[in-house]
Amino acid sequence: MAIGIYDSGVGGLSIWRELQVRLKTRLIYFGDTAHVPYGEKGADELEGYFWNIMNFFRSRGCVGAVVACNTTSTLVLPRVKDKVEYPVLGIVEGAVEATLAAGNGSVGILATKATVESGVYQRALSEARPDWQVYAQSAPRLVPLVEGGQVEGKKAEEAVREYLEPLLAKGIDTLLLGCTHYPFLREQLERAAGSGVRIVDPAPYIAQRAEAIWPQFSQGGEYLGSEFWVSAKPEAFRQTAQKLLGTEIKHVHFHEDVEEGK
Ligand code: DGL
């Protein structure tokens, strides 16, 4: 038995690192690196990847899955949720909960183009707190930077500043990291946002929800390790993941069936 976790690439590792200390079972991480970035793709295409990856997880003995991607959680999960035979946990509800707990009247959302355009976070936060101001900004250059392991240095610093500027100009007090890649840029984001802005990484809230959905893996048992799989460039993924997580990843498997047309 295992739980599957997936994202377009390394971003979902920001959720995996919380889950691996909380879920006492085997974890199977899948980075769909043949199709990264997801953030500018449409719902039909992303749904195709979703089903391929669910099939893969089933073939590896998974009894549940975490969609560690805001874009897929936003565009695909509402269409497929009742059609999967095991529980599937997305990011949106946990991220909204985390933001409501941290917010103080003026919230900025940093996310992919598709997530921002869906309006899912803007709607959920405005419904829960009509008295709050909510602003959203897409940040298309950040995912390629994280995928390339370029989380320090001038390029990352400039991109983060550029995307935060319009939100800071609105006087936000809280910033939701609405893409699972962005927690790996946390230092840059903190520096650019300054101490007056609380940064919300929803990962702990997602892990709490995972514990509630799979109590059999949170109350007993033992962590049985993780497998890492990708649909392209396993060695590049291994190196970037090691850099971002600061831990050794011995092997990354290549699973070609998830590639287009197979
Ligand atoms: N990390 C994903 C998200 O949370 C996907 C980003 C991308 O591939 O564009 O939206």
* Residue 85 and residue 208 in one domain: yes
CB-based pocket (< 6 A), ligand 1: 7-8, 11, 36-39, 69-71, 112, 115, 143, 179-181
Distance of CA 51 to CAs 6, 14, 104, 163, 255, Å? 12, 23, 39, 33, 15
* Residue 107 and residue 150 in one domain: yes
Q: How far is the CA of 142 from the centre of ligand 1 (A)?
A: 10
Catalytic residue among 179, 197, 207, 244: 179
- Three-state secondary structure string covering the chain: CEEEEEECCCCCHHHHHHHHHHCCCEEEEEECCCCCCCCCCCHHHHHHHHHHHHHHHHHCCEEEEEECCHHHHHHCHHHHHHHCCCCEECCHHHHHHHHHHHCCCEEEEEECHHHHHHCHHHHHHHHHCCCCEEEEEECCCHHHHHHCCCCCCHHHHHHHHHHHHHHHHCCCCEEEEECCCHHHHHHHHHHHHCCCCEEECCHHHHHHHHHHHCHHHCCCCCCCCEEEEECCCHHHHHHHHHHHHCCCCCCCEECHHHCCCC
Nearest CA to ligand 1 atom 2: 69
Structure tokens at 55: 């099939």
Q: How confident is the model at residue 176 (pLDDT cuts 50, 70, 90)?
A: very high
Q: Is 69 a catalytic residue?
A: yes
Q: How confident is the model at residue 221 (pLDDT cuts 50, 70, 90)?
A: confident
Q: How far is the CA of 39 from the centre of ligand 1 (A)?
A: 5
Report which ligand 1 atom has the smallest distance to the Cα of 40: 9
How many CB atoms neighbour CB 177 within 10 A? 27
* Residue 196 and residue 96 in one domain: yes
Report which ligand 1 atom has the smallest distance to the Cα of 71: 10
* Residue 64 and residue 118 in one domain: no
What CATH number did the domain enclosing 72 receive?
3.40.50.1860
Q: 75-132 pLDDT, tens per residue?
A: 999 999 889 999 999 999 999 999 999 999 999 999 999 999 999 999 999 999 999 9
Residues facing residue 119 across a β-bridge? none
Mean pLDDT of the chain: 96
Q: Residue 256: its pLDDT value, please?
A: 82
Nearest CA to ligand 1 atom 9: 39
Q: How far is the CA of 22 from the centre of ligand 1 (A)?
A: 23
Catalytic residue among 69, 95, 111, 159: 69
- From the number of C-beta atoms within 10 Å of its C-beta (0-12, 13-18, 19+), residue 219 rates as exposed
Give me the domain span that covers residue 177. Answer: 92-202
> Is residue 215 over pLDDT 70?
yes
Q: How confident is the model at residue 258 (pLDDT cuts 50, 70, 90)?
A: low
- From the number of C-beta atoms within 10 Å of its C-beta (0-12, 13-18, 19+), residue 129 rates as middle
* Distance, CA of 25 to CA of 28 (rounded, Å): 10
Of 202, 222, 252, the residue that ends a domain is: 202
* Residue 185 and residue 239 in one domain: no
Q: Residue 36: its pLDDT value, please?
A: 98
Q: Among residues 13, 4, 5, which one has the least CA distance to residue 180?
A: 13
Total-model pTM? 0.97
Q: How far is the CA of 221 from the centre of ligand 1 (A)?
A: 31
* Residue 84 and residue 126 in one domain: no
* Residue 21 and residue 33 in one domain: yes
> Is residue 219 over pLDDT 90?
no
* Residue 196 and residue 208 in one domain: no
Q: How far is the CA of 178 from the centre of ligand 1 (A)?
A: 9
Report which ligand 1 atom has the smallest distance to the Cα of 38: 8
Number of domains present in the structure of the chain: 2
Report, as an integer, the average pLDDT of 218-243.
94
Report which ligand 1 atom has the smallest distance to the Cα of 39: 9
